[in-house]
Structure 1
Amino acid sequence: MPRYIPPEITDTIIAAVEHRHTLAMCALVCRDWLPASRTKLFRDIVIDHSLSYALLVERVLHSETMSAYLSSVCSLTILGYLGSVSSATRMFPIEFAGKLQGLRELTLRRMDWTVRVPCAKWPLFLSQFRTITSLSLVGCRFSSFNDLRRMLTVLPLLSSLSIQDPSWSTVSLEPFQQANLRSRAWWPVLHKLYIKCALNRRYDAWRSTETLLKWLTSALRGSAVEELTYWMMFSGGPRIASSLQDTAVAFFTPLGQSVTNLRVTFQVASTNNLPLAEFTALQYLAFESCSKYQGDWKGVALMLQNVSSKRVRSIAFRSVHTRRWVLAVQPATNPENWPYLGHRTLEELDPVLSGEPFGSLEEVAFYPVSSPGEDQDLLYAEVKKLLPKLCERRVVRLHAK
């Protein structure tokens, strides 16, 4: 038996370690463990403070020995919402150009490009990172919509895009409609798209969302989007929801032939913004934030009657409140006005999901939000009485927290 573990074995073990403190300790064990430990440590980098960025530049970027590990970086996250990421962080795409050859995922949170921008063409510097395949923008502010558009069109390998609550100065749509955009080969060919916007009574909030959807409708033509998450939360009343109806329908329709995994909020579905009949390749359908839906399961059954795909394998209902939870948390609310788990109208789903086109259905999943100590077996018994055909097929699932 050897007195030591061969490096090829320890390298494999270290590659499976996720805890950063453990990896740091592994790097101190011996020289043989150092390269693999550092490589894994540099796989995911998070910049959450101006000091962390300064140290990354000083001790890694400008170091002859440490700079080699920058090629190991696969994921980079920059957090701007803490207010402690100085303007130096905005120099990232300039200072690290050509240094992150393995970068695949980039996440930018709460970045504000409306003030103290080091260069008016900051988004264009991302073209130096041609290996990025996944981009996530969370709560970022742009000087104009064109800045966001440029950021998306300079990443030729982009296949996964997440945009959450973007904002910019409301401007006319004419500038980017009339502009000579890059050739189609440089546009993103997305396979995974996540859009989340909280719409309120502010005019610019829903107008910006409308602008984004109209541009994406044109830009995504030819892209085979397979996973689509469309998360819209309306707090401005029916007027705000209906104002986006035509734009949303125009956005969904071209994607219907390719989307296999669809996640939407109930508010989107219940405002008739979701043409389910167009999603002919659909296999997985999930309704998020069911607790926000003001209605009963009869309305849900009517929505599901519009499904045309015969390949649907799973339908999920997330954040479904129980009657006991509604009475405890919202005592002034009539629970019969909410689609709680066990509501008498839940039986409306049984004939709909037991017929065509749901012959391939393998799972109807409910994710209940229940009160502490609530009996999950009793909940399932109530569901079983209301969905006898689906329970007989053994496709009903309750995923309690």
Structure 2
Amino acid sequence: MTDLPSPVKAQPRLPIEVCERVIEAVYTDWYYSVSMSLATLSSCALVCRAWRPRAQRVLFDYVLLRDKDALYDFAELLDASPELGTYVHTLELRGYLHVPYSPVVLFLTALRGKLTNLAVLYIYGGEKELPFLPIYRYFPSLLTSISHIRRLDFADVRFPSFGDFARFLNTLSNLKELYCYRISWAVLGLEPVCMAKRSSADSRKMFLPNLEILTVCLQIDQGTGLY
């Protein structure tokens, strides 16, 4: 009679809490490493069911979108799994933004109402195909869908006018931190109405009333001489 094979001895497994701490340690929001960390988190989410919830929460805490295709793919994903949108705390738009299909403009309609917990928005421009962002007249009104954000970072972005830049900011009345690096505009123009001085009795309508931190790094435009 042949002996039955001895049962395989179960190997000790790490508690899921330890695995979750490791998953959380993968994430970094450093500009040059964020893409790699997000790719690693995507792999973690596919390892097993036990890893998926924590990996998804960390993965969707910071969303990086480089073009309109990535934007629309993300929008479709949120349509299928709306709960993922509640995980998004930081949204970064990076790449070719001065184009007719600029993600900076399109994301307001594509993701409208889907990022209820968004707190931080990064807008980092790249090579310019148009002289400035293709902002249309109703663009500021769409910004009300993200008026709850607390931090905004701009880098290498050019607006049609200073008024467009001011109206962009004016809608985000809950901003506490604003960082502007190499921001410019095609024309300066008159002082925007939203920035005009108001009486103390009308203080509720102050420009950026909750702002606590402002960092500005501008450069001289070689074409117009404007900052």
TM-score by length of 2: 0.73
Aligned to 1:11: 20
Larger RCO (CA under 8 A, 6+ residues apart): 2
Q: 1:169 to 1:175 in 2, by over 3 A?
A: same
Q: 2:108 aligns with which of 93, 100, 117?
A: 93
Aligned to 1:168: 185
- Does 2:45 match 1:27? yes
Aligned to 1:56: 74
Shift of 1:113: 8.9
CA contact (8 A) 2:166 2:192 kept: no
Q: 1:51 to 1:198 in 2, by over 3 A?
A: same
CA contact (8 A) 2:100 2:134 kept: no
3-state SS in 1 of match to 2:179: strand
Aligned to 1:107: 122
3-state SS in 1 of match to 2:152: strand
Structure whose residues are more often helix by fraction:
1
Structure 2 distance, partners of 1:163, 1:10, is 38
Shift of 1:179: 8.3
- Does 2:214 match 1:193? yes
- Deviations along 1:212-245, one digit per CA (max 9) or x if unpaired, are xxxxxxxxxxxxxxxxxxxxxxxxxxxxxxxxxx
Where does structure 2 lack aligned partners over 5 or more consecutive residues?
1-9, 28-36
The Cα RMSD (Å) is: 3.2
Shift of 1:74: 1.6
- Does 2:145 match 1:124? no
Structure 2 distance, partners of 1:89, 1:155, is 15
Amino acid in structure 2 at the alignment position of 1:12: R
Where does structure 1 lack aligned partners over 5 or more consecutive residues?
207-401
Matching of residues 185-224 of structure 1 within 5 Å: 187-199=208-220, 202-206=223-227
Q: 1:87 to 1:172 in 2, by over 3 A?
A: closer
Shift of 1:198: 1.6
Amino acid in structure 2 at the alignment position of 1:149: A
CA contact (8 A) 1:124 1:151 kept: no
Identity, % of aligned positions: 26
Aligned residues: 202
TM-score by length of 1: 0.44
Shift of 1:197: 1.4
The 10-residue stretch of structure 1 (137-146 or 28-37) with the greater mean CA deviation from structure 2 = 137-146
Aligned to 2:33: none
Q: 1:182 to 1:61 in 2, by over 3 A?
A: farther
Structure 2 distance, partners of 1:203, 1:87, is 24
- Deviations along 1:166-194, one digit per CA (max 9) or x if unpaired, are 22232443553658798346724322221
Amino acid in structure 1 at the alignment position of 2:219: A
Amino acid in structure 2 at the alignment position of 1:92: F
Aligned to 1:73: 88
CA contact (8 A) 2:132 2:157 kept: no
Structure 2 distance, partners of 1:136, 1:130, is 15
Is the radius of gyration larger for structure 1 or structure 2?
1
Structure 2 distance, partners of 1:51, 1:80, is 12
Structure 2 distance, partners of 1:82, 1:175, is 24
